[in-house]
Amino acid sequence: MNGKKWTYTALCVQRSGEKQLNNMGASGTMSSSIPVIPALEGKYQKLADSFPVISEKELSNTLLPDRNQMVSDSGLQNSPLVSRPSSDIVPIQVNQTSHFVNAQSASLVGYTGQNNAMSWSAESLQDILDFPENVTGGNSQIETHNSLMPSGDNGRGTDWQKWADQLMSVEDNMDSNWSEILADVDVPTLEPKQIQTVSRPPVPTTIEAYPVSSPSSTGASIKPRMRWTPELHESFVEAVNQLGGSERATPKGVLKLMNVEGLTIYHVKSHLQKYRTARYKPELSEGTSEKKTSSIDEMVSMDIKNKSLGFTDALKLQMEVQKQLHEQLEIQRNLQLRIEEQGKYLQMMFEQQRKMENERQKPSSSSLDDNPTEKPKASERDDQCISDKDPKNSTEKSSQKSTSQIEVQDVNKTNIDSRCSPRPNKRARPDEATMS
């Protein structure tokens, strides 16, 4: 499986390599055409050589798989490993990598900016370790690299070493994790759609989780993204009450009672913990209130607000402000969703361009188009390399395209119809409603 993936990658690499060169207008090697920071090059070269040059497609696919895709392929959900288009598998793999490292490095580092950077670079090492077939003697290179790291190079050197060591051991664990994960996979999930679930019988089945792994993944699992909807929580509370209350209920018991597909004991456990905290904190914290307000200024302003207005009015005022903020945010969000419309249109343009190019280069392009039948849905899928064709022109075009919003909508309508995912429709419609 790994082999298969890497052939795919290698071809993509070639293509993207060409594209990159074309873009740069350089015919030489990449390193000569980009003014590289000389000081870093030496240190980084070792890594870079073994660094898998992943295709643009993979680059842009490295996010979590599209939730919409999950929704649309409801029939496929129980076997995400096999039936997902390769596009999903690829992103999972890379992202899982990042997650695993994250989990590991989280113990070392916190969430400061600096540490973020450190964990980012940890992932690059992870990748190198992950793709042994692609990297000739990758591991050995890493070790060499580590040993070459001058000890004088304080922050980075030791960090790289630390991470490399860490990741070495991580790699050993990965396979065993996969088998666990694979066994555990039971992907349900339509995303919440509360509007629909409200009318359904009380037991909701609206858990949302991302596919946990894929056969070609070389990283650990993506954290199952569990979203607790109010309905789900209701059934949770019911189960807890049946079991005698939050103190007496056990995660196992609750899990069984709830009987929701895809819900794991870990979900229930953490949720139960939160639930207990929420219920008992009010009883605990009376009398310790003074410590809660964080600054004198706040106290004063709050006090003034309350004293001059009276408590109820103060609350009302606060509520008004909050409502206003909410309104503003709704507007802002609509704007942001409009960006999506623009984006869809652009993407479609690129897809079309690529199609044309593919046809021109027919023999060599077949390996890229794994799922030619999915092309109509391509604009929302991640299964094609994003080409770097005239990026500047395109981005300029995008700003001019705003005048053709209506065209965008029509075009997107076709796209939306061709996709089986209901969710984009949901999002697109409110946009179209506001836009017309």
Partner 1 sequence: MKFGKEFGIHLEQTLPEWRDKYLCYKLLKRFLKRIPNPTAVDSDHNPPPPDAAVDRDFPPLPPHLADLQEWFVRILDEEIEKFNDFYVDKEEEFVIRFKELKERIEQVKEKSWKDGNFTSESEFSDEMMAIRKDFVTIHGEMVLLKNYSSLNFAGIIKILKKYDKRTGGLLRVHFTQLTLRQPFFTIEPLTLLVHECEENLELLFPLEAEVVESSSKQPDAININRSSSSSSSEVGTSDVYRRTIDAMRTIKGLKKESSTFNPLSFASIFGNQDIDTGAITTQHSPSDSTISYHDKKRTV
Q: Which residues inside 358-377 make contact with partner 1, applying CB under 8 A?
A: none
Q: Which of residues 149-178 bind partner 1 (CB under 8 A)?
A: 154-156
Q: Quick one: which of 28, 152, 202, 287 contacts partner 1 (CB under 8 A)?
A: 287
Q: Is 100 in the site for partner 1 (CB under 8 A)?
A: no
Q: How far is the CB of 252 from partner 1 (least distance, A)?
A: 20
Enumerate residues 6+ apart whose C-beta is below 8 A from 139: 129, 132, 168
Q: Is 141 in the site for partner 1 (CB under 8 A)?
A: no
Contact 53, 47 (CB under 8 A): no
Q: Is 269 in the site for partner 1 (CB under 8 A)?
A: no
Q: Quick one: which of 149, 220, 378, 386 contacts partner 1 (CB under 8 A)?
A: 386
Nearer of residues 179 and 311 to partner 1, judged by Cβ: 311
Rounded to whole angstroms, the Cα distance separating 74 from 408 reads 28
Rounded to whole angstroms, the Cα distance separating 348 from 375 reads 10
| Residue found under tokens 């003697």 | 137
**Which among 173-181, 182-190, 212-220, 275-283 is the span making contact with partner 1, rule CB under 8 A?**
275-283
Contact 251, 272 (CB under 8 A): yes
Q: Is 238 in the site for partner 1 (CB under 8 A)?
A: no
Rounded to whole angstroms, the Cα distance separating 48 from 53 reads 9
Q: Is 278 in the site for partner 1 (CB under 8 A)?
A: yes
Q: Quick one: which of 10, 43, 74, 365 contacts partner 1 (CB under 8 A)?
A: 43
Rounded to whole angstroms, the Cα distance separating 4 from 193 reads 37
Q: Is 302 in the site for partner 1 (CB under 8 A)?
A: yes
Nearer of residues 260 and 386 to partner 1, judged by Cβ: 386
Q: Which of residues 105-124 bind partner 1 (CB under 8 A)?
A: 110-114, 116-121, 123-124
Q: CA geometry: angle at 89 spanning 110 and 336, to 5°? A: 65
Give how many residues touch partner 1 by CB under 8 A. Answer: 151
Q: Is 201 in the site for partner 1 (CB under 8 A)?
A: no
**Which among 137-145, 256-264, 320-328, 410-418 is the span making contact with partner 1, rule CB under 8 A?**
320-328
Closest CA to 416 of 67, 68, 13: 68
Residue 78: both structure tokens together? 């129980």
Closest CA to 139 of 164, 103, 170: 164
Closest CA to 125 of 107, 139, 110: 139
Q: Is 194 in the site for partner 1 (CB under 8 A)?
A: yes
Q: Is 266 in the site for partner 1 (CB under 8 A)?
A: no
